[in-house]
């Protein structure tokens, strides 16, 4: 079963889990707000992307993705691509944790890495797949006791993940260094002018070539990537209690009406309603 998740990161439930099989996969950059993600790669020739790195993934790798980290997975050929992805709300993991057992530990990365790559044993993989394959129908049925069973299975899955250490040396980064500079430039200038002309002036490149190269690696045009990042910043500011007018300005939208329309289109609700629903 293929599950299409919203690219803005606002997942509708606390837990999403799916065991997917396909031959072609080419997702644009996306992230999940307030949810961590575990992806177990079972088969396929794929490349995993973050805003700063791109590297090949071996079958059997488990990727632990902290909340809010932008990422992308692309298949390199038509070989069968099988994976299990699991999204869990951070607050739920906090509830499942204890003073002695922090189940979020496997998502803590050092400063140089966006994600943790775990390389478990075959016994681990067999147990992990078994727990996830039990979890998926439990989430779908919602019968008596399934909420308790869900928490038990999630605890077992997270305990497994936390027993595996990240690999010492991540695979070779195949992303061109200048694209790392582009994404960093975007992050540092979201409230400023980020037109193609501004990028051309900053990096001394033909803007069309730069845009084509950026899309090749990210799956998004520079404009679309900037809009997605600005909306994510807007969501963070709204959750912190900032006014819609101030958020519009701080997130780089020059026109209030355009901000309202864009936010509605991507997130599915207005900024004001989002603030009321998710304000911390």
Backbone angles phi, psi at 234, to 5 degrees: -60, -40
Structure tokens at 151: 């928490």
Q: Do both 184 and 208 map to the same domain?
A: yes
pLDDT higher than threshold 60 for residue 241: yes
6, part of any domain:
no
pTM, full prediction = 0.82
147 and 201 housed in the same domain: no
Q: Are residues 56 and 111 both part of a single domain? A: yes
Same domain, 158 and 21: yes
- According to the model, what pLDDT value does residue 4 have? 57
Q: Is residue 170 part of a domain?
A: no
Overall average pLDDT of the 181-208 stretch: 91
Query: Are 139 and 221 contained in the same domain?
Result: no
Single out the residue of 38, 42, 35, 22 nearest to residue 135, CA to CA.
Answer: 38
Instruction: Kindly report, residue by residue over 135-149, the tens digit of the pLDDT.
Output: 999 998 889 999 999
Question: Is 266 inside any structural domain?
Answer: yes
Q: Are residues 28 and 143 in the same domain?
A: yes
* Domain interval for residue 116: 15-162
Closest CA to 157 of 174, 138, 141, 172: 138
Q: Are residues 212 and 247 in the same domain?
A: yes
Q: Are residues 90 and 181 in the same domain?
A: no
**156 and 182 assigned to the same domain:** no
The token pair that represents 7 in the structure block: 């690219």
- Do residues 58 and 152 share a domain? yes
What pLDDT digit, counting tens, does each position of 102-129 carry? 999 999 998 888 999 999 999 999 999 9
Residues 155, 211: one domain? Answer: no
Q: What is 8-51 written as a DSSP string?
A: TS--SSSEEEEEEEES--BPPSB--TTEEEEEEEEE--EEEE-S
User: Do 33 and 75 reside in the same domain of the chain?
Assistant: yes
Does 153 reside within a domain?
Answer: yes
- Percentage of the chain modeled with pLDDT above 70: 96
Residue 2: inside a domain: no
The total number of structural domains that make up the chain = 2
pLDDT of 273 strictly over 90: yes
At 29, the pLDDT band (50, 70, 90 cuts) reads confident
Q: Tell me the C-alpha distance between 205 and 195, whole Å.
A: 13
């Amino acid at each position: 079963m293929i599950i299409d998740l919203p690219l803005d990161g606002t997942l509708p439930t606390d837990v999403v889990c799916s065991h997917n099989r396909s031959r072609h996969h080419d997702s644009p950059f996306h992230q999940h707000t307030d949810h961590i993600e575990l992806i177990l790669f079972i088969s396929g020739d794929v490349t995993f992307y973050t805003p700063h790195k791109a590297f090949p993934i071996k079958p059997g790798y488990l990727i632990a993705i902290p909340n809010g980290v932008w990422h992308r997975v692309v298949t390199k050929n038509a070989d069968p691509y099988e994976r299990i992805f699991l999204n869990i709300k951070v607050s739920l993991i906090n509830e499942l944790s204890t003073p002695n057992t922090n189940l979020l530990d496997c998502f803590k990365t050092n400063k140089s890495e966006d994600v943790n790559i775990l390389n478990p044993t075959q016994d681990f993989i067999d147990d992990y797949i078994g727990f996830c394959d039990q979890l998926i129908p439990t989430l779908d049925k919602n019968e008596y006791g399934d909420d308790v069973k869900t928490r038990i299975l999630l605890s077992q899955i997270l305990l497994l993940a936390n027993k595996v250490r990240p690999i010492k040396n991540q695979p070779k980064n195949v992303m061109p260094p200048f694209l790392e500079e582009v994404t960093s430039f975007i992050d540092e200038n979201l409230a400023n002018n980020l037109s193609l002309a501004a990028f051309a002036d900053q990096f001394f490149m033909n803007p069309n070539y730069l845009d084509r190269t950026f899309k090749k690696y990210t799956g998004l045009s520079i404009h679309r990537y900037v809009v997605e990042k600005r909306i994510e910043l807007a969501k963070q500011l709204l959750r912190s209690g900032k006014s819609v007018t101030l958020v519009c300005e701080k997130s780089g939208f020059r026109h209030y009406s355009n901000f309202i329309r864009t936010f509605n289109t991507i997130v599915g609700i207005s900024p004001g309603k989002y603030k009321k629903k998710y304000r911390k």
